[in-house]
Amino acid sequence: MQILLLFLVIQLCHGSNDTVSISLKRHTLNVGGTSFVGLKNFDGVVFYGEISVGSPPQKFNVVFDTGSTDLWVPSKEWPEETDHKHPKFDKDASKTCRLMKGGEVNIAYETGSVVGILAQDNVNVGGVVIKSQDLFLARNPDTYFRSVKFDGVLGLGIKSSRAQGSVTVWENMVKQKLITKPIFSLYLRPHKGDGGEDPNGGQIMFGGFDPKQFKGEHVYVPMKLSDDRWKIKMSKIYINGKPAINFCDDVECTAMVDSGSTDIFGPDEAVGKIYKEIGATKVIIRCEQFPALPDIYFEIGGKHLRLTKHDYVEVKTNPKKSCRLRIVKSKNRRKDWVLGEAFMTKFHTVFDHGDVKTPRIGFAEAI
């Protein structure tokens, strides 16, 4: 997770135990046994959605983050001095909550950190109740988490990285047989309007995917098993008409598919070369350059996935017109690329854990 952005403001509804879907529409629907819950896209950079924790349920808006692994929500010790008001989980009010052994754990991201203690409680995601789910009750947010609008984070990585023996939401969904297929998919819709909330932001679905959300077939690539993140190998990144110039020419050109990151992040040198090729010197460009910007291709699994200037440039008109590239240099000088929301908005993404030895990720052009 580079910069937290996947928020999902949702109203929970009940569906079957086969598929759980959190949809990005303002209203709630039940279609064919699938649970759809409304999501919002905030200002083109964040998607947030509602889950509930405890018995009786206490509601929280969380980031659904494929770049991290753990679930946390604010505890009663969360400070009042924040930019936005947040609900606080009252463990004593939940008859199913219990604290686990161990001390406090520092939960840190590329941007932001909190401190949490491990607990277990029932968690409702899109109408499916996960029994005795591990989660962290958080306090002591840093400056970043004091400023955000969402309440917590629900990590969708493979295995927990914070506490030995703890189990992720995704692991428990599969283990408790709450979904028929060990698959979840993300459909992120571009923001409509100039700032604020767009009520039609997309959908996250557990247990399958909706073929009405993409064109053609997915191209699948195996996940690299070096860590617990959804990481894949890429073959090439190149500018339209110049396939010989590969900006992803490392022996191991890898990318983390991260729904908790706003943009596409890459190594300093590679991103700098892309800027030079398209006539940019920094992330902010002159809007007069926009019409002439070329398409950029990412070759993944033998398929050439195309981003147009409309996909990799953010254009704002309020209060004045500005243009910002959404392919940016990594803050920590990492060699891996990060395919964040700017990429995932263009491509419907399936995270398939059906083969536990070879999980895979699929991409198809979103509608």
Boundaries of every domain in the chain = 20-206, 214-365
Give mean pLDDT, residues 67-92. 96
More confident residue, 22 or 105: 105
pLDDT tens digits, 247-272: 987 667 999 999 989 899 999 999 99
Q: List, for residues 305-360, the tens digit of each pLDDT value.
A: 999 999 999 998 877 899 999 999 997 767 889 999 999 999 999 999 888 778 99
Lowest mean pLDDT among 32-41, 128-137, 183-192: 32-41
Read off the pLDDT band of 33 (50, 70, 90): very low
Taking 60 as the threshold, does the pLDDT of residue 11 lie above it? no
The active-site residue out of 258, 311, 336, 352 is 258
> 142: which DSSP letter?
-
For residues 120 and 133, the answer to whether their CB atoms sit within 8 Å is yes
Mean pLDDT of the chain: 86
Active site residue 65: yes
**Residues 20-206, CATH architecture:** Beta Barrel (2.40)
- Indicate the pLDDT class of residue 30, thresholds 50, 70 and 90: very low
The pLDDT, as a whole number, for residue 193 is 65
Q: What are the φ and ψ backbone dihedral angles of 103, each rounded to 5 degrees?
A: -90, -160
pLDDT at 229: 80
Lowest model confidence (mean pLDDT) among 25-29, 42-46, 130-134, 342-346: 25-29
Residue 284 pLDDT greater than 70, yes or no: yes
pLDDT of residue 199: 73
Report the pLDDT value the prediction gives residue 257, as an integer from 0 to 100.
96
- Answer whether 60's CB lies under 8 Å from 50's CB: yes
CA separation for the pair 366, 227 (Å, rounded):
28
Q: Let me know: does 283 contact 324? Beta carbons within 8 Å.
A: yes
Find the helix or strand (DSSP H, E) in which 144 lies.
helix 143-147
**Pairing between strand 347-352 and 360-365?**
antiparallel
Residue 311 falls in the annotated catalytic set: no
Total-model pTM: 0.88
Candidate list 65, 151, 198, 311, residue with the active-site label: 65
CATH class of 214-365: mainly beta
The reply to whether 20-206 and 214-365 are identical in fold is yes
* pLDDT for residue 195 is more than 80: no
- Quick check: 3 pLDDT over 80? no
Give the tokens for residue 169: 């939401």
Mean pLDDT (whole number) for 145-160: 88
Flag whether pLDDT at 39 surpasses 80: no
